[in-house]
C-alpha cells in the first residue's frame, strides 16, 4: 500500500512539474500533454493532409489553421515543423524578410525541436529544400539577423527554400 502510494505521489508530482515547465495555454494542450506523456497522442490525419495540401499550394494561413487543428496540443514535432516552415515561406521575400513571421516561425521550430526525440527532427519530404529542424532554425535566424551582406544586390537572386 505505502509503496503504491509513494509511486503514485512521485508520478503525480512529476506530472505537475511537467505541466508547470511546459506551460500549456489551453485545456486541449494540457490534455494533449498528458496523452503524449503516456504515448497515446496522435495527430488528426485528415486535418494534417489538408494542411499539407494548403502548404504546397502556398496557402500558408490556411495551412496553419488546418495543421493547428491536426495537432491542437502542439505535441507532434513534424506538424510543428510544417507550421514553422509555413511561417518561413510566407515571410520570405526576394528583397525583404518579414521579421514578425520569421520570429513566430522561430518560436514554433524551437517547439518542434523540443518535442522531437533527442532534439533531432528530420522530415523526408521531397517537396522541401530543408529537411531538418536545425536547417530551418538556422535559416529563420539568418533572416532575423541584420548584417552588411543584406545590402548585397545579388541576394535578390536567392531562391526560396
Give the binding site for other proteins (CB under 8 A): 1-6, 8-9, 12-13, 16, 19-20, 23-27, 29-30
d(CA 43, CA 83): 14
Residue whose CB is less far from other proteins, 3 or 100: 3
Residue whose CB is less far from other proteins, 20 or 157: 20
Minimum gap (Å) between residue 2 Cβ and other proteins = 5
Cβ pair 123, 131 in contact under 8 A: yes
Half-sphere exposure of 121 (CA within 13 A, CB side): 23
Give whole-number Cα distances, 53 to 48, 58, 66, 86, in Å.
9, 9, 10, 12
Minimum gap (Å) between residue 1 Cβ and other proteins = 5
Residue whose CB is less far from other proteins, 6 or 138: 6
d(CA 94, CA 19): 41
Residue whose CB is less far from other proteins, 6 or 46: 6
Minimum gap (Å) between residue 75 Cβ and other proteins = 16
Minimum gap (Å) between residue 104 Cβ and other proteins = 17
What would the grid cell of residue 9 be? Answer: 505521489
3-state secondary structure of 122: strand
Residue whose CB is less far from other proteins, 29 or 79: 29
Cβ pair 31, 73 in contact under 8 A: yes
Minimum gap (Å) between residue 29 Cβ and other proteins = 8
Amino acid at each position: 500500500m505505502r509503496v503504491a502510494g509513494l509511486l503514485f505521489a512521485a508520478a503525480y508530482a512529476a506530472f505537475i512539474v511537467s505541466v508547470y515547465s511546459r506551460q500549456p495555454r489551453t485545456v486541449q494542450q494540457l490534455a494533449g500533454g498528458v496523452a503524449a506523456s503516456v504515448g497515446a497522442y496522435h495527430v488528426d490525419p485528415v486535418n494534417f493532409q489538408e494542411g499539407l495540401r494548403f502548404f504546397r499550394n502556398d496557402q500558408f494561413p490556411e495551412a496553419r489553421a488546418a495543421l493547428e487543428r491536426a495537432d491542437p496540443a502542439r505535441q507532434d514535432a513534424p506538424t510543428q515543423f510544417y507550421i514553422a516552415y509555413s511561417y518561413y515561406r510566407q515571410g520570405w521575400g526576394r528583397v525583404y524578410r518579414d521579421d514578425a513571421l520569421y520570429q513566430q516561425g522561430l518560436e514554433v521550430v524551437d517547439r518542434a525541436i523540443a518535442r522531437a526525440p533527442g532534439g533531432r527532427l528530420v522530415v523526408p519530404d521531397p517537396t522541401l529544400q530543408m529537411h531538418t529542424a536545425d536547417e530551418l532554425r538556422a535559416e529563420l535566424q539568418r533572416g532575423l539577423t541584420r548584417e552588411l551582406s543584406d545590402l548585397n544586390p545579388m541576394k535578390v537572386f536567392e531562391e526560396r527554400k
